[in-house]
Structure 1
């Protein structure tokens, strides 16, 4: 197991990233242990795409946008790891994230740009963690610097297993990750976490409270820590890959951007004290959840805006390819999708304008909780617009083998072409749209948008409780309490009997 290294290595290259994934981790796919995910067919396309993006940091034309000079180490580090102290630094971080997510078409929910911002949040919260135990604040700062100065690709684990959500872990401890014991070396944890996106392709996982445990008796379930994914006793179980198919259809989106989701099993795993950030303090954990995610919520909106722009461009190309782009109902749908993309930009602007310094001296974006609820609410409609425009054409497109067949090709050119486009280009466009909205990868992305921001009903209730109604209520109550004005009588009005 790799512990915190005193020798920073600086920015990742693609080659170094791939090599570092071959670290002896216990990773399983379809009942088989995978020794090196970067070279396995199920993981290699996504690993190669991440490697390509990491290499962009080293290109001179992107250097100032994607990297910054760390005054402590003297190294250039990934921009996403820079703790912003001013509004301008926050905006530079946004522009860097916009570049990254545009390269990935908004498909990488757990991109390094996203997860690095959570490490920044842990760093920002270090002083509050130190109030529980001075070691925890120091650990949080050391871990942040280790991740930043080595440009680590991170994952995080929040959710508990779906065994019996009607029961309490106080009755069945397997329902949640728990601390078994403390000793001179650290804590020993047992349990599982789902759904840990990007775990098969990450260096480290950050584990923290899922906001479920407020009962004083449940303190053994309250724990924050980080571990390398090759820690002894840590088992990673990957789900079935979504970016491949047996019939030769092109899957350019799914193959590159299937981030992989995983279950993590903690088989009595020792977490060294230097990697523990919080223990048995539910109140501090609840406070910290909002604090450490301030920057990741902001970067998440950057990613979501790019996804909406990708869906809009896809829908527009579909409409143009079959000659429906001038239809009033189609333009209305495209306008709705364009509006979603515009509004997401407004939310980012609002987060910046509401930003403020934290007690640790960083500059944090303002609260955008309501916009996260909105994003989950419109995510399905955004996908449905693409489906409505593509309609049955999303289902029936020729494969590369069909296009190459001399008996089929004349019929395909005659009956499956588009307006001003040949059958081959049209089929590639429609298959790409199917990937984004309909096949296993598309359905996973759609579900991700709905669930990754948390329970929608609970979040709506939170928005209700957070919203300040005091002024509007006061005006209405004053109106209700006012003495009704007497209506003037005219001479021809009769007095009531």
Structure 2
């Protein structure tokens, strides 16, 4: 059954240990740094119950209503339904959120695709995968993903330094395994559970390793401690920082201090072959909703730059139109990769319909690697006023409002307040601390750029270009190699 926003909030009051700015949080749903983004997620739950959005955000199976976001894709319509659901949410909340569950459930589908491989390694855990995918659907939990460890000195093996710098199994019990370590994780403090998986590391060369573990961790479980970074919400007037005060997705260093993982929540452990398999297939589904978010980031940049050009009358200049066209090409490039990946979708080993892999991964590289340059183009189009305009308080102060209204009123159509609002939005989108944080987040949220390129290399079918050149260059028929 789909949950309501209040049911989601109630689930977060489970005694979880959350710290932010050196203070232990009594109730995450009320803390000023966490409440805004929790309210956004709660709004998503409530939308699914409303007549205007129910058909877009949910589906019925066995007389039960479930979230479209968590429905395993078996046909192209499932993907178009997910796109429509994301569109409805983004337009309703008026911004972009990344970690809300639909981009992490795909990692579980990838795990299910490999259940036979994992069963060959250790048959005890393969049924757990199916159980948890069903549980996410039926309980409508907020499911996130834990990936990056602190790691420590990268030139040394985990065993040669503090072993807790990477998550590892310390012992087995009749009830399950016990883990120690830490992971950096977005949205953990206000999620229900996380899929904890191994990071990329040199230990993967070992046949067996206590660091090769994959499991579900309940975010309120004993021994789980969330140490959050400082939030952007509440730092300034929402009138000056409209995005940071509503859409900051707070990350945390999640510490696992001898956390018991019940056997039914374990997918694999100690087997590096399983870890390597998981790392190679992890994003075959989740990259799609992740890249889809960049489409809306591009729309915000285009809209901000175009409104600025219209306000100032510069939309008639060819040089301005050319830069706007650059932003449009970026946006449509993302759209083209996503559209093509679904049009050319492939059947996965587990029977699901996954986006065409090399097209999807190439789209991720295109969207992420070009974002910094596109943000700079948008800054140019907005001009220097986004970094020098006074805050809203100055526009409302009797001592300064008259002057600011005089100099920020453009014409009969564009008065000072609309001009101030647009410039504040542009600053928060492109120039603020929050904007810089989001840019860095995009570059690493689904692994670093070299890993993105490796995914493209490993998913692309080189046989076509190789065969084309073999024939064009009249190479020997014995030349049939694929990249190693």
TM-score (norm 2): 0.91
* Structure 1 residue 161 displacement after superposition: 0.4
| 2:42 pairs with one of 43, 46, 51 | 51
* Structure 1 residue 288 displacement after superposition: 2.8
In structure 2, stretches of 5+ residues that fail to align are 476-484
Structure 2 equivalent of residue 163 of structure 1 = 152
Structure 1 equivalent of residue 251 of structure 2 = 261
| 2:164 pairs with one of 154, 168, 174 | 174
Deviations 1:157-188 (A, max 9, x none): 11110532232213222331111111211111
Residue 204 of structure 2 aligns to a residue whose secondary structure is coil
Residue 68 of structure 1 aligns to a residue whose secondary structure is strand
The separation in 2 between residues aligned to 1:162 and 1:285, in whole angstroms, is 16
* Structure 1 residue 239 displacement after superposition: 0.5
Deviations 1:338-374 (A, max 9, x none): 1111111111121112212223222222101122112
| 1:414 pairs with one of 402, 406, 417 | 406
The separation in 2 between residues aligned to 1:267 and 1:461, in whole angstroms, is 33
Do residues 88 (structure 1) and 77 (structure 2) align?
yes
Describe the shift of the 1:288–1:462 C-alpha distance in structure 2 as closer, same or farther (beyond 3 A): closer
Structure 2 equivalent of residue 445 of structure 1 = 438
In structure 1, stretches of 5+ residues that fail to align are 1-9, 483-497
| 1:424 pairs with one of 417, 424, 432 | 417
Are the equivalent residues in 2 in contact too, given 1:26–1:230 (CA < 8 A)?
Answer: yes
* Structure 1 residue 197 displacement after superposition: 0.5
Structure 1 equivalent of residue 51 of structure 2 = 60
The separation in 2 between residues aligned to 1:290 and 1:417, in whole angstroms, is 55
Deviations 1:19-73 (A, max 9, x none): 21111001000111112111111111111121112111001222122111233xx
Decide which moves more: 334-343 or 136-145.
136-145
Do residues 357 (structure 1) and 350 (structure 2) align?
no
Decide which moves more: 271-280 or 119-128.
119-128
Q: How does 1:362-373 map to 2 (within 5 A)?
A: 362-367=352-357, 368-373=360-365
Structure 1 equivalent of residue 450 of structure 2 = 457
Structure 2 equivalent of residue 19 of structure 1 = 10
Structure 1 equivalent of residue 318 of structure 2 = 328
The separation in 1 between residues aligned to 2:338 and 2:29, in whole angstroms, is 34
Describe the shift of the 1:248–1:379 C-alpha distance in structure 2 as closer, same or farther (beyond 3 A): closer
Are the equivalent residues in 1 in contact too, given 2:216–2:265 (CA < 8 A)?
Answer: yes
Describe the shift of the 1:176–1:60 C-alpha distance in structure 2 as closer, same or farther (beyond 3 A): same
| 1:150 pairs with one of 120, 139, 145 | 139
Deviations 1:162-219 (A, max 9, x none): 532232213222331111111211111111112x001111111110122324211661
Are the equivalent residues in 2 in contact too, given 1:383–1:446 (CA < 8 A)?
Answer: no
Structure 1 equivalent of residue 481 of structure 2 = none
Residue 277 of structure 1 aligns to a residue whose secondary structure is strand
Residue 145 of structure 2 aligns to a residue whose secondary structure is strand
Residue 159 of structure 1 aligns to a residue whose secondary structure is coil
* Structure 1 residue 247 displacement after superposition: 5.8
Q: How does 1:339-350 map to 2 (within 5 A)?
A: 339-350=329-340
Number of aligned residue pairs: 471
The separation in 1 between residues aligned to 2:59 and 2:237, in whole angstroms, is 45
Decide which moves more: 323-332 or 123-132.
123-132
Are the equivalent residues in 2 in contact too, given 1:130–1:137 (CA < 8 A)?
Answer: yes
| 1:230 pairs with one of 214, 220, 237 | 220
The separation in 2 between residues aligned to 1:106 and 1:284, in whole angstroms, is 38
Q: Which has the larger radius of gyration?
A: 1
Do residues 298 (structure 1) and 294 (structure 2) align?
no
Are the equivalent residues in 2 in contact too, given 1:67–1:76 (CA < 8 A)?
Answer: yes
Deviations 1:218-275 (A, max 9, x none): 6111100111111111111110001222467533211221110110111111111111
Residue 280 of structure 1 aligns to a residue whose secondary structure is strand
